[in-house]
Amino acid sequence: EVQLVESGGGLVQPGGSLRLSCAASGFTFNDHYMDWVRQAPGKGLEWVGRIRNKPKSYTTEYAASVKGRFTISREDSENSVYLQMSSLKAEDTAVYYCAKAIYDSSAYYHMDVWGKGTTVTVSS
């Protein structure tokens, strides 16, 4: 069974840092791109960023709202992906989900399995 389990969420002060982890199982992790998506309380979904796989040099993409503050990395030997968040703001308060991305017949990647999420609260 494909599983994604996020951890590392919590309460952090504005300007602080936090590192989220996502542990994957049930699939060949190093074949896939991985995404982070967040959802502020009572709001819709916002894509945060993506990390590609080794054949694509682990390159990354980010939403403008987090670029320069957040960094996505992965450790294929541990089947894990990470989201390092710094210079946190109140508006970063959200549930953060990791998702596995798979390519379709046109070789474009879409998210097909999501974790349950971890909650980040930025407040003094």
Partner 1 sequence: DIQMTQSPSSLSASVGERVIITCRASQDLKNHLVWLQQKPGKAPKSLIYGASYLQGGVPPRFSGSGSGTEFTLTISSLQPEDSATYYCQHYNDYPLTFGGGTKVEIK
Kindly list the residues in this chain that would bind partner 1 in the complex (CB under 8 A).
35, 37, 44-47, 50, 61-64, 97, 104-106, 108-117
* Closest distance of CB 39 from partner 1, Å: 8
* Closest distance of CB 66 from partner 1, Å: 10
| Residue with Cβ nearer partner 1 (50 or 74) | 50
The continuous run of DSSP H or E covering 88 comes out as none
Q: Answer for the pair 72, 36: CB distance below 8 angstroms, yes or no.
A: yes
SS3 at position 64: coil
The conformational region for residue 73 under phi > 0 = left, psi -120 to 50 = alpha, else beta, is beta
- Of residues 24, 27, 22, 52, the one with CA closest to residue 38: 22
| Residue with Cβ nearer partner 1 (57 or 77) | 57
* Closest distance of CB 5 from partner 1, Å: 11
| Residue with Cβ nearer partner 1 (43 or 77) | 43
The conformational region for residue 79 under phi > 0 = left, psi -120 to 50 = alpha, else beta, is left
| Residue with Cβ nearer partner 1 (29 or 62) | 62
